[in-house]
């Protein structure tokens, strides 16, 4: 069964999304669009952790451009953001790497194997004023 849940960590200002089941590109777009339109992403949030450990992301590598374009089209929400993706399936890791190449001037995507590593990366000091390395 396909499912996407989310919550906002007020202590660390991180927006979390959890994915379950078979997730397609249209699911990603429709969920983000709904969250943005309903104002569910607190203003000024620049740290996102997307957890795909219990999901199968059914987007082929060429969809990375479409994913990057969606984030760029919604730049008011994602400008200077760090988007950490927790992925434990090697075939899925290529997507955030390719998406990052498409929009690294305005936001960063990076895949991680663990929540701890993703959490540490989005919380690095001064990431908004660095080159996002």
pLDDT tens track for 93-112: 888 989 989 998 999 999 99
pTM here is 0.89
Residue 47 has φ and ψ, to the nearest 5°, of: -125, 120
Burial class from Cβ neighbours inside 10 Å (0-12, 13-18, 19+) for residue 116 reads exposed
Residue 132 resides in a domain: no
Q: How far apart are CA 42 and CA 76, in angstroms?
A: 12
Residue 50 resides in a domain: yes
Q: Which residues of the chain have pLDDT under 50?
A: 129-133
In which domain, by residue range, is 20 found? 3-123
Residue 130 resides in a domain: no
25 CB contacts (<8 Å, ≥6 apart)? 58, 59, 63, 66, 67
What is the average pLDDT score of the chain? 91
Residue 77 resides in a domain: yes
> pLDDT value at position 132?
46
> pLDDT value at position 127?
55
């Amino acid at each position: 069964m396909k499912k996407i849940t989310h919550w906002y960590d007020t202590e660390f200002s991180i927006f979390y999304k959890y994915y379950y089941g078979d997730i397609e590109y249209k699911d990603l777009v429709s969920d983000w669009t709904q969250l943005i339109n309903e104002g569910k992403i607190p203003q000024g949030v620049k740290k996102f952790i997307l957890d795909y450990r219990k999901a199968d992301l059914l987007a082929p590598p060429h969809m990375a451009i479409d994913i990057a374009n969606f984030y760029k089209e919604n730049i008011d929400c994602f400008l200077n953001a760090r988007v950490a993706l927790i992925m434990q399936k090697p075939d899925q890791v290529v997507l955030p790497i390719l998406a990052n190449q498409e929009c690294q001037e305005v936001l960063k995507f990076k895949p991680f194997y663990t929540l701890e590593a993703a959490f540490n990366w989005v919380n690095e000091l001064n990431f908004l004023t660095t080159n996002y390395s």
